[in-house]
Structure 1
């Protein structure tokens, strides 16, 4: 479907190639009211219960609905297939199910379907991708009225609505009968969702085609999407994506690096849109001495010196660019609970040198800085650190190597990023990185871990804010992290395509449309 000859990757396209591509009309999607989007990574299943990929989340917001969803404007969790809900107490949630929702096979959604879905996720043999997470907080589910479902929690868990919105699409009762575990996600089992689009065809690793579902319930905020048909083509190579966009083979590129966007967004037939993302960049320091008990990073003055040494403003402005912003704490400012008044570390290399001397390292020391992405940013960080007398060896490796060494707690310092799964809550950043059991937690601070855990064990919003403020202030005071910046998202679009840039970095293509010309 509108395929073109691949080209080699690269920021600069040859002039002759550009000219030939621009000769091809790029408005095919507008003519037939379709939308073709490039996926960089393949999906092995269209069943969200068996996928944790970002691409799977993007697709599921079109083909599936959960009881709740993430409001694209407020990023709060609100009813979707649920009509209403009530926290009866800290560990009991009752949900009233809508009575006007239809599965793609035409059958009505009922409370029994909701109970079946959650009981399947709670079943160890089902082997769903998020089963262990849901099982950690959900004890049981039961139907207590014609349209009422009760969720009995193991413990207070404020992110229950988040997990239900992002990870658990409603499935028709009996969907997985007669099969076991991950066989449920096999290609020959058609997806029977309740979303505004239904699967028309799925070729694993190549292409997914979806079409608008005309019997979608009108009360949904996703009702009446403008696009008739959407196609998601797997095109791993950025250069090939560029060529396809210029030729009309695709209508939209996501996650476009700033330098690529700079080079082709000025060409005829291309529009650029950018916006913020909940993803943040940071440096973790081995304050707990896991990799080396005698590490200089066990000294707070050394960690503070690292914070003062890095010119976050210039790195953000000139390397990350777009709508990226400097961050001061271990979370994204858009996340609930990301409010603190602890110390902020402005760029001050002289103060950094003074702190190193006070810590007993007037001539600096040697260490390895690990990284797996954005090498140019990692190199800028290294340059800043060398300027205060530190001998830094940048160990730039592939993600699988990075993850193994990090999880083995064998890094003195590492530069990384985290997207929080698009969740606008500090539990998805601060909680993940400073929980006692987290492989990312190098602080060695059990009191901090207890504070983070307490924030995840109450549904009292004011108490959660207080606890996260306490945790964030502690992280800043002890300089366990070097918070760097938020990320900026770049999209390249065909002319006439209207698409609101998401606030959390997760596109909602049911909002897309073609403008009248």
Structure 2
């Protein structure tokens, strides 16, 4: 009943405010945005949620910068990079980079940051960002050498924005200060903060890179969605995001705003556990898992309930990721074929299975369950909180799990396929052939070899039907018509790219 109530409230807000044109803040060159939750901290190495990390990327800079359109890595604090060998990267450092307190960045700040956050006792929030670093060393006054523990193909991804450089003196004095009053080298600096409520950023005029077009960012925390919609339509806000598809459709009819749907890295899936109940479950049989794949009309559900820029996926990865194969076995919607496969597996009267829902909306799984019932697959839908569901899945207590995965926004199959099928805690298939392919792909910097091995692993996953890959997500943002801005595919809004038309 709750979704129906929400739609009614939103509709009322639109009817009440739709006649008013949003007053874009072009006059004072500011951008007013809203998030639904406050960041736990403004320290980039301690924060975990997208809004907080997005704000951190306004304040901090990494050694490199990734072009989100081409996938190429270019200069930032470092003027470039060079692989000395498979486990060593050298990066020359710019001499004109200033922190927001006016102090000049030196190689000492770089060495301090990298060695600190990769140390065992630091406990960075995302260990995959830092755990690959063995040591950062000084080559000269303007060149740093990073030694890896083993060949790490995602090193450049991490050096681009995921490893911001901190001022040593400031951070050494009190790390907690960085969580409340961050000082970085990025395009914006924090000038005002009401923790949990409002944050104001101004363009940093001494920024070493191209200056942002927008002078000031005003970030407000508004947990109630309907308040966000009302303020956007009345001109109090210029940009909001994560707008549900039904609301986005209504917003498209409002003349003062534009809906931007961006294809992002996050994907939805259903994991099938062939080892459930000590291998006595119907899921132990390949034909049953294949039948489940044939029993869901993914495109019809995507079109009706997901929409936007989303697309059906076929492999255990996002097609935008390096190493994601396009030539894996696919399963078209075919209830008759699903019934045939169930009969071949010894279940002519069908099967009954529990499906735990941890993330996607219940309505999507209700639709899938109705379709599967036509093929003789009865689902008992069980909703669990994400943390509980993942713990139960990893303990082998769940037969089927529906969830989604964002790969930390990284466009590489190492963060998708390998996460679920390389023998880690999320891997209930534990296929030794797949694990071998993924271990090879994850421990070499040879891109051709990596792609070959990822493809081989993904083909086995698809043939064995260990997954039901559903679709990649799209993210709906609604903004003033005069605003020129889009969220990037890694699910990060980079506000320094925004401008007023």
TM tier, smaller: over 0.9
User: Is 2:29–2:215's contact at 8 Å kept on the other side of the alignment?
Assistant: yes
Aligned with 1:207 (options 185, 189, 198): 198
Aligned with 1:490 (options 457, 472, 476): 476
Q: How far does residue 360 in structure 1 lie from its aligned partner after superposition?
A: 0.4
- 1:312 equivalent in alignment to 2:308: no
Partner Cα separation in structure 2 for residue 456 and residue 285 of structure 1:
24
User: Is 1:12–1:263's contact at 8 Å kept on the other side of the alignment?
Assistant: no
In the alignment, what sits opposite 2:269?
Answer: 282
In the alignment, what sits opposite 2:354?
Answer: 368
Let me know the Cα RMSD of the aligned residues. Answer: 2.0
Q: How far does residue 79 in structure 1 lie from its aligned partner after superposition?
A: 2.8
1:348-427 residue pairs with structure 2 within 5 A? Answer: 348-372=334-358, 373-427=360-414
Aligned with 1:507 (options 488, 493, 500): 493
Aligned with 2:170 (options 172, 175, 194): 175
Partner Cα separation in structure 1 for residue 52 and residue 160 of structure 2:
14
User: Is 2:13–2:226's contact at 8 Å kept on the other side of the alignment?
Assistant: no
1:90-489 residue pairs with structure 2 within 5 A? Answer: 90-130=86-126, 132-134=127-129, 136-179=131-174, 183=176, 185-187=178-180, 190-217=181-208, 220=209, 223-287=210-274, 289-372=275-358, 373-437=360-424, 439-489=425-475
User: Is 1:75–1:504's contact at 8 Å kept on the other side of the alignment?
Assistant: no
Q: How far does residue 23 in structure 1 lie from its aligned partner after superposition?
A: 6.5
Name the count of aligned residue pairs: 497
State TM-score, norm by structure 2: 0.94
Secondary structure, aligned partner of 1:66: coil
Partner Cα separation in structure 1 for residue 389 and residue 250 of structure 2:
31
State TM-score, norm by structure 1: 0.92
Partner Cα separation in structure 2 for residue 458 and residue 36 of structure 1:
44
Partner Cα separation in structure 2 for residue 370 and residue 106 of structure 1:
53
User: Is 1:497–1:512's contact at 8 Å kept on the other side of the alignment?
Assistant: yes
User: Is 1:28–1:248's contact at 8 Å kept on the other side of the alignment?
Assistant: yes
Partner Cα separation in structure 2 for residue 16 and residue 93 of structure 1:
57
Cα gap change, 1:192 to 1:22, in 2 (>3 Å): same
User: Is 2:315–2:462's contact at 8 Å kept on the other side of the alignment?
Assistant: yes
Cα gap change, 1:511 to 1:136, in 2 (>3 Å): closer
In the alignment, what sits opposite 2:30?
Answer: 34
String of CA shifts for 1:85-141, please: whole Å, max 9, x gaps.
1111111111111122111111221211110111211333433323x4355321111
Secondary structure, aligned partner of 1:394: strand
User: Is 2:40–2:52's contact at 8 Å kept on the other side of the alignment?
Assistant: no
Unaligned runs of 5+ in 2: none
Secondary structure, aligned partner of 1:342: coil
Unaligned runs of 5+ in 1: 1-7
Secondary structure, aligned partner of 2:80: strand
User: Is 2:441–2:454's contact at 8 Å kept on the other side of the alignment?
Assistant: yes
In the alignment, what sits opposite 1:4?
Answer: none
Secondary structure, aligned partner of 1:263: helix
In the alignment, what sits opposite 1:3?
Answer: none
Which consecutive aligned stretches of 4+ in structure 1 deviate over 4 angstroms post-superposition?
A: 14-20, 22-25
User: Is 2:322–2:413's contact at 8 Å kept on the other side of the alignment?
Assistant: yes
User: Is 1:68–1:80's contact at 8 Å kept on the other side of the alignment?
Assistant: yes
Partner Cα separation in structure 2 for residue 14 and residue 371 of structure 1:
26
Partner Cα separation in structure 2 for residue 134 and residue 265 of structure 1:
38
Q: How far does residue 25 in structure 1 lie from its aligned partner after superposition?
A: 5.6
1:9-20 residue pairs with structure 2 within 5 A? Answer: 10-13=6-9, 18=14
User: Is 1:50–1:185's contact at 8 Å kept on the other side of the alignment?
Assistant: no
Q: How far does residue 501 in structure 1 lie from its aligned partner after superposition?
A: 4.0
